[in-house]
Chains A and B, each alone.
Chain A
Amino acid sequence: MIEVRWHGRGGQGAVTSVELLAVAAISAGKYAQGFPSFGPERRGAPVAAFSRIDDKKIKVRSGIYQPDVVVVLDSSLVGMVNVTEGLKPNGILIVNTPKSPEEMKKELNFSGTTATVDATGIARKEMGVPIANTTMIGALLKMIGIMDLDAMKESVEHRFGRIAQKNLTAMKRAYEEIKISN
């Protein structure tokens, strides 16, 4: 089972990301959960959302304390929220930032696999908005490799309709442009 924690701010679509990912994984025949950190939502406030993906039925319904992967949608949260809290030592950290993964490692004092991608830049270019949530799904899928990017098509189309293609293009670019430091 892969457990992912997403960090973002209210309104940046962390919850949408976990929903899209879970729906896509389930369509691809897997088992998945997607859920918000429970509580009232406040625009701009730091929020977390969670994904679980597995090949067999997922039973556990508690929070995720030791994620395999952490995805940071907004690099301004780094330093404000302890984004690596509980992250397994062999876990993966993925940050939306133009900085290099090495820089990020140093900044966070994290020695595990780190990946960075300028998802906001990509989103701005491809969709005209600086909202990186769907773009970062591309980055995540590259790093965990549990399913093809194509698997996202249906759920993104269902959710975004005519702007789906732009989201998919941005996702693909993040998948390709992500920089990794092991």
Chain B
Amino acid sequence: MAKRAGMEVAMAVAEAVGQCNIDMAAVYPITPQSHIAEHLSELIADGKVDAEFVTVESEHSAMSAVIGASGTGARVYTATSSQGLMLMHELLPIASAMRLPIVMGIANRAVSGPLNILNDHSDIMPQRDSGWISIFVENGQEAIDLSIQAFKIAEHKDVLLPVCINIDGFQLTHMVEPVEFPEQELVDKFLPPREPYATLHPGKPVTMGAFAMSDYYPEMMKAKNEAIKNSKKTILAVWEEWAKIFGRAYKPVETYKAEGAEILLLTMGSMGETAEVAIDELRAQGKSVGLVKLRLWRPFPFEELKEAVKEAKKLIVIDRAVSFGGPGGPVFSEIKSALYHEEARPMICNYIIGLGGRDVAVTDFTGMITRVLREDSKKIADTCEFWGVRER
């Protein structure tokens, strides 16, 4: 029987990664990811996980170390947050171009300045175009499940791309809550040892990270784009397999009471469950509202999103990051462009919320929905607002 336990989510993520038969981890501690780094290094030091923990002097080195180790064919893990992720930024497209199946946990946190250590999504958003598969989780259980699935997805022969799992800092990482660890035997069966397609080995030399000028670079970029677009098939297959073995189903776009709803709210990450409570409250008042939760950020699930919102009249997109000088939040602009050519598409508006750890409460969601219900579509169309920001 799978074991149900109360555990802090960051520690649970380290436990789950420890179940994945990793060979090597290089993790530089940073709040709110630190408990992942600490607990994973503890598991390795105590001999509970047979792997090498490489202590590094920065996140840039952590990513460099896992790139090198992954090149040798090792199963590798790293985790970071905020400024650490920004420091890794330079290496992220290299890891994906080299098609290395690295798995990274991100304890999402606001980026400086001003200096802030609390949650929002402004660390992952600038990494959007780095060629990494990017998935959001909304509770501790999903953080465990996705951290394990990530290795299977990343290492699949039809994928071979790095995967990052976005776990909201504090709201998730620092929460003690019920989680269930899958049985080791089943994990071993689900996740067999990595079979690298090429390894750095002196006995069989290869070149990784070769130079390519204008004569090959565009073809390489096209190949990388096709690879990540194509990875959705494998992601879906892995989720199907997971559901069969472990009984928990995952979808690129999750919905909650969304069918036939006039107004839809769209969230990403740990806000999802709080938003469900808001939907329940409004449904109880007879309002036609529902929720859409975007789990798969890259590759972007175009078909599933279109399907989920096609009947709605109004769509409220929630962003936890800003695209400064842009059309609103980054999620908003993605959704808007995804729906541009649809004949039937909802009016769409954008609220930016939860920046720098500002609490996101049920009343925030009920407040926005009530407002959008009241306003006529023309007025709300395309608005982008910093929800709850103090103004003169």
Residues of A whose CB lies within 8 Å of any CB of B are: 18-19, 22-27, 31-36, 38-40, 58-63, 65, 155
On chain B, the residues within 8 Å of A31 by CB distance are 177-178
Asked if B276 lies at the interface with its beta carbon under 8 angstroms from chain A, I say yes
Q: Which residues of A contact B176 (CB under 8 A)?
A: 18-19, 22-23, 32-35
The segment out of B3-11, B150-158, B200-208 that lies at the interface is B3-11
By DSSP majority rule, is chain A's interface helix, strand, loop, or mixed? mixed
Q: Please, what's the 1-or-0 string for B156-178, where 1 marks a CB less than 8 Å from any CB in chain A?
A: 00000000000000111011111
Given the complex, which residues of B lie within 8 Å of A25, measured CB to CB? 6
> Are A61's CB and B171's CB within 8 A?
yes
Which residue of A is nearest B363, CB measured?
Answer: A62
Residue from B172, B277, B361 within 8 A of A59 (CB atoms)? B277
A19 touches B8 (CB 8 A): yes
B178 touches A26 (CB 8 A): yes
Contacts of A18 in B (CB 8 A): 176
- What's the minimum C-beta distance from A161 to chain B, rounded to whole angstroms? 15
Q: CB within 8 A of B117: which of A26, A39, A63?
A: A39
Give bound CA distance, A2 to B102, whole Å. Answer: 41
A27/B177 in contact, CB under 8 A: no
Tell whether B362 is near chain A: CB-to-CB under 8 Å. yes
What A residues does B359 contact at CB under 8 A?
62-63
Q: With the chains together, A24 CA to B175 CA distance in Å?
A: 15
Residue of A27, A59, A65 with most partner-chain B CB within 10 A: A59
Q: Would A38 and B170 count as touching, CB distance under 8 A? A: yes
A61–B361 Cα distance when bound, in Å, is 8
Known contacts A23-B7, A60-B274, A62-B360; can you find 18 more A-B pairs with CB under 8 A?
A: A18-B176, A22-B6, A23-B6, A26-B6, A26-B177, A27-B6, A31-B178, A32-B178, A33-B175, A34-B175, A35-B176, A38-B357, A39-B118, A39-B357, A40-B117, A61-B172, A61-B273, A61-B274
Q: Identify which of B5, B174, B276, B360 contacts A36 (C-beta below 8 A).
A: B174
Please state if A32 and B357 are interface contacts (CB–CB under 8 Å): no
What's the least CB distance linking A77 to chain B, in Å? 22
Contact: A38 with B361, CB < 8 Å? Answer: no
